[in-house]
């Protein structure tokens, strides 16, 4: 019999207390459920918060050496189990197996990167105006933090939140997406094996409206780090504001790739394809608008369509270029937006249907529209699927105007041979991530990650050299010796 204990509270694996069951499906074979188990309820979530709060004092007192060696052990265990983790990820989320392996390895790298912060993340000594007073800052953990995560990077995103929260001395209640609880369970099992003390990390699997809501409103939670959609993120930010606790929300995107007339068109086409269709368009940084100078739009459009039509689509376990959409709901959303774009007058160049022979999973062909303008919903709303809109601009200024004419501001890219144009783009674009001659997708662990506008609460960035700041209080100390 399969193990139905998905809740990890105070070092024990237990069943959810709710009467509701959750079924996890493989989006490549939805009729064959992977797991069914009871969800956690509100009371169980409260219990997890209480347990994490009780564990706080002892965890905060652990030495930097203890914390860094624990994080290195977690990284090693993730690496040792890369095959098993990648297979679970692909079965549950649908992405191609090589992408899953890449994500799992990145999770290990993340734990290693943040391990070093146990010994180095610290306050500052600041010159004092008074020679008898020593002025410095110290950083202390927030206490117990809630980590609420989406399904699209179901091991990398929890890892960068968990690693940073733990290394700074916080205890955690982790709520993964209901689409991807299996990989979350396996990750927490590895944390347990590495020796994370009881109560320090707790996993609560259940719905956003009960478990998620309890975590965002519970008085025992001292900070919330959320990644997900803008609608939910704003709701959580509002609840956190009412309680006056720190909040980090990284949310949706509508990311532009701008192509200027002096760009390398082959490189620009490769980047657009990778950015729009890699991970089935289910990356928050996915390219959804290709904004092209009128002089090169025909050439680039031909190159993009040719490449899109050559992509393989199929079950993630066969390692195709593109796997299925994650869920029935996302599948419906993808096809809804095809209709919305057509009705608004966009021209479908390729895709827009389910590929032949793949009727049973949530598949869609890589889809490219042209004649898209900013007043259309397809140019404004996040689809979160493999749908690319080509938009024409007559010059640099118009390209920037189109690129910025959305509520989101997560990632962006410009293709040009002229570094003065690249610099102007980097200054004018309203986005937290800017790529020059690179895809909107992809990021480096040591670089800060996060958006602007409706893509982020812009409190503190994730990843990078200062990601730990979110998880700490900063105190300014004035010490005058007697």
Positions in the binding site for ligand NAD (CB under 6 A): 148-153, 175, 177-178, 208-209, 212-213, 216, 227-229, 232, 235-236, 250-253, 284, 382, 384, 410, 451, 455
Taking the complex as a whole, how short is the minimal distance between the CB of residue 85 and ligand NAD, in angstroms?
A: 19
Taking the complex as a whole, how short is the minimal distance between the CB of residue 416 and ligand NAD, in angstroms?
A: 26
Q: Please confirm, yes or no, whether 389 is among the known catalytic residues.
A: no
Taking the complex as a whole, how short is the minimal distance between the CB of residue 386 and ligand NAD, in angstroms?
A: 14
| Closer residue to ligand NAD, CB minimum distance, 88 or 370 | 88
Which residues partner with 249 through β-bridges?
A: 226
| Closer residue to ligand NAD, CB minimum distance, 252 or 323 | 252
Residue 376 to residue 37: CA distance in whole angstroms: 42
Which one is catalytic: 85, 165, 211, 284? 284
Bridging pattern class, strands 433-436 and 411-415:
parallel
| Closer residue to ligand NAD, CB minimum distance, 201 or 349 | 201
| Closer residue to ligand NAD, CB minimum distance, 38 or 212 | 212
Taking the complex as a whole, how short is the minimal distance between the CB of residue 330 and ligand NAD, in angstroms?
A: 8
Note whether 216 and 236 are within 8 A (CB).
yes
Taking the complex as a whole, how short is the minimal distance between the CB of residue 480 and ligand NAD, in angstroms?
A: 44
Residue listed under structure tokens 């890449």: 102
**Distance between alpha carbon 471 and the CA centroid of its chain, in Å?**
18
Residue 183 to residue 189: CA distance in whole angstroms: 10
| DSSP helix/strand/coil, 368 | strand
Largest CA-CA distance found in the chain, in angstroms, rounded: 82
E-strand stretches of 213-302: 223-227, 247-250, 255-259, 287-293
| Closer residue to ligand NAD, CB minimum distance, 224 or 292 | 224
Residue 356 to residue 326: CA distance in whole angstroms: 19
Residue 253 to residue 452: CA distance in whole angstroms: 10
- Phi/psi at 171 (nearest 5 deg)? -100, 160
Taking the complex as a whole, how short is the minimal distance between the CB of residue 113 and ligand NAD, in angstroms?
A: 17
What dihedral angle (degrees, nearest 10) is formed by the CA atoms of 341, 346, 347, 349? Answer: -60
| Closer residue to ligand NAD, CB minimum distance, 94 or 169 | 94
Residue 376 to residue 405: CA distance in whole angstroms: 11
Active-site positions? 284
């Amino acid at each position: 019999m399969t193990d139905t204990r998905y809740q990890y509270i105070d070092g024990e694996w237990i069943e959810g207390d709710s009467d509701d069951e959750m079924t996890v499906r493989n989006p490549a074979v939805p009729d064959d459920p992977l797991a069914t188990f009871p969800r956690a309820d509100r009371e169980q979530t409260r219990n997890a918060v209480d347990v994490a709060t009780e564990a706080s004092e002892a965890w905060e007192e652990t030495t930097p050496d203890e914390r860094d060696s624990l994080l290195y052990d977690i990284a090693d265990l993730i690496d040792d189990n890369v095959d098993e983790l990648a297979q679970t990820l692909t079965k549950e989320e649908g992405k191609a197996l090589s992408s899953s392996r890449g994500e799992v390895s990145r999770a290990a790298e993340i734990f290693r990167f943040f391990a070093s912060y146990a010994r180095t993340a610290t306050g500052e000594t600041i010159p004092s105006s008074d020679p008898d007073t020593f002025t410095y800052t110290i950083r202390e953990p927030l206490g117990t933090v809630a980590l609420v995560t989406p399904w699209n990077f179901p091991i990398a995103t929890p890892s960068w939140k968990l690693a940073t929260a733990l290394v700074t001395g916080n205890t955690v209640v982790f709520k993964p997406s209901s689409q991807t609880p299996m990989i979350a369970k396996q990750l927490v099992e590895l944390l347990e094996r590495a020796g994370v003390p009881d109560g320090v990390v707790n996993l609560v699997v259940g719905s956003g409206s009960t478990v998620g809501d309890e975590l965002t409103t519970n008085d025992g939670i001292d900070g919330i780090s959320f990644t997900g959609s803008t609608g939910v993120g704003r709701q959580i930010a509002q609840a956190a504001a009412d309680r006056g606790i720190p909040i980090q929300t990284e949310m949706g995107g509508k990311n532009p790739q701008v192509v200027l007339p002096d760009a390398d068109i082959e490189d620009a086409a490769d980047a657009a394809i990778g950015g729009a269709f890699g991970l089935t368009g289910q990356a928050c940084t996915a390219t959804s608008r290709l904004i092209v100078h009128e002089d090169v739009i025909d050439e680039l459009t031909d190159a993009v369509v040719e490449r899109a039509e050559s992509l393989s689509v199929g079950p993630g376990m066969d390692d195709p270029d593109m796997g299925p959409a994650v869920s029935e709901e996302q599948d419906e959303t993808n096809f809804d937006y095809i209709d919305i774009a057509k009705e608004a007058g966009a021209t479908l160049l390729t895709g827009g249907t389910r590929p032949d022979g793949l009727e049973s999973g949530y598949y869609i062909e890589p889809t490219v529209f042209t004649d898209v303008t900013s007043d259309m919903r397809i140019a404004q709303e996040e689809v979160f699927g493999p749908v690319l809109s080509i938009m024409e601009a007559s010059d640099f200024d118009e390209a920037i105007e189109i690129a910025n004419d959305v509520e989101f501001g997560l990632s962006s890219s410009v293709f040009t041979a002229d570094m003065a144009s690249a610099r102007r783009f980097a200054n004018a674009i309203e986005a937290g991530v800017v790529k020059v001659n690179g895809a909107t997708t992809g990021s480096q662990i040591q670089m800060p990650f996060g958006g602007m506008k409706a893509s982020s609460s812009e409190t503190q960035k994730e990843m990078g050299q200062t990601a730990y700041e979110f998880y700490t209080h900063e105190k300014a100390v004035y010490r005058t010796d007697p």
